[in-house]
Amino acid sequence: MQLLKTVAEARAWRSTRSRVALVPTMGNLHAGHLALVSAARGQADDVIVSIFVNPLQFGPNEDLANYPRTFEADIAALEHAGVTAVFAPGVDEMYSAGGRSATTVHVAGITEMLCGASRPGHFDGVATVVAKLFNMLTPDIALFGEKDYQQLAVIRQMAEDLALPVEVAGVPTVREDDGLAYSSRNGYLTPDERRRAVALSAAIDDVTTRLAAGQRDYRALEARGWAQLTDAGFDPDYFDIRDARLAPPTEQTPVFRVLAAGRLGRTRLIDNKGVAAPR
């Protein structure tokens, strides 16, 4: 496995490869990331994983300085997983202005709702760094976890709008035995918070089951999910029912997406699930 730290090294590596799959990460890898790697190995001849904690997607009161960095363990896990190369640039390699960028990518509409409403500018940072990675590494396919469903939707829209020659693929969420979605932020939870965190996936499961059974009072279902989070000790951010493209659902919606986010103590957790409408 090759470790690449500059754009020049990454482009030289790419020039010798045929079909390449990219898995972008911020490190602190867990089973969800490794599922992306496994899926990527089935889609390409070579897999490159990027590890870069992107300052552009952190707000002024968010956890950039404390974001867990486990580089040596990440490298060992990726080598064991059969990754061909790791691209791990420094901030100055990615952004010439010390972690800032004079040019940013904004995907209008889809970035102002849900997580974007409480994290202004977050998805501009995501879209900008992913666009740069696509230009630097020119992958044939890039894989993202469905756990961050809004992020996946933003990147798909960006790639479509900018005619970027890369396929953007989603990979189903990987969960712990009790249903909690794997996340780098799960490590922030206290033991008591970890026990209560499963209420997030449980509330979403409850609402998706009701949608599958034909219930269509969306506001009542959203209020039900919100109440379940509150009862478990969450400070909910949102609990929304959308269609697969994150538009409000209609009677003709074939597939619903139930999305929720909230804080448990100091930790902000997100999750979502899709469910097909009954025929």
* 182 vs 53: CA distance, rounded Å: 18
On whether 201 is known to bind a ligand per the annotation, the reply is: no
Quick check: helix, strand or coil at residue 251?
A: coil
Residue 196, CB-side half-sphere exposure with 13 Å CA sphere: 18
Whether pLDDT at 14 is above 70: yes
pLDDT for position 99: 65
Of 147, 171, 195, which residue constitutes the final position of a domain? 171
pLDDT for position 169: 98
- The answer to whether residues 150 and 209 belong to one domain is no
Confidence band (pLDDT; 50, 70, 90) for 60?
confident
- The answer to whether residues 79 and 122 belong to one domain is yes
What is the rounded average pLDDT of the residues 55-63?
Answer: 84
Whether 238 maps to a domain, the answer reads: yes
Whether 178 maps to a domain, the answer reads: no
On whether 145 is known to bind a ligand per the annotation, the reply is: yes
Angle, helix 218-231 to helix 199-212, in steps of 10 degrees? 160
* 240 vs 258: CA distance, rounded Å: 6
Confidence band (pLDDT; 50, 70, 90) for 132?
very high
Torsion of CA 9, 14, 17, 20, to 10 degrees: 130
Mean pLDDT of the chain: 96
CB 199 within 8 A of CB 229: yes
pLDDT for position 9: 98
200-257 tens-digit pLDDT: 999 999 999 999 999 999 999 999 999 999 999 999 999 999 999 999 999 899 999 9
- The answer to whether residues 161 and 222 belong to one domain is no
pLDDT for position 142: 98
Note down the domain range covering 17. Answer: 2-171
pLDDT for position 141: 98
Share of the chain above pLDDT 90, in %: 92
On whether 90 is known to bind a ligand per the annotation, the reply is: no
Active-site entry in 33, 80, 106, 122: 33
- Residue 106 annotated in active site: no
Whether 177 maps to a domain, the answer reads: no
Whether pLDDT at 279 is above 70: yes
Q: What is the CATH classification number for the domain harbouring 27?
A: 3.40.50.620
CB 162 within 8 A of CB 128: no
- The answer to whether residues 92 and 34 belong to one domain is yes
Confidence (pTM) = 0.95
Whether 8 maps to a domain, the answer reads: yes
pLDDT for position 97: 67
Handedness of CA 96, 99, 101, 106 (dihedral sign): positive
Of 148, 171, 194, which residue constitutes the final position of a domain? 171
Instruction: Give how far Cα 181 sits from Cα of 35, 118, 175, 185, 226, Å.
Output: 13, 21, 4, 10, 18
- The answer to whether residues 98 and 125 belong to one domain is yes
On whether 1 is known to bind a ligand per the annotation, the reply is: no
- The answer to whether residues 32 and 77 belong to one domain is yes
- The answer to whether residues 135 and 189 belong to one domain is no
What is the rounded average pLDDT of the residues 52-65?
Answer: 87
When divided into structural domains, the chain yields a total of 2
Confidence band (pLDDT; 50, 70, 90) for 63?
confident
Q: Who has greater pLDDT, 61 or 18? A: 18
Of 141, 171, 201, which residue constitutes the final position of a domain? 171
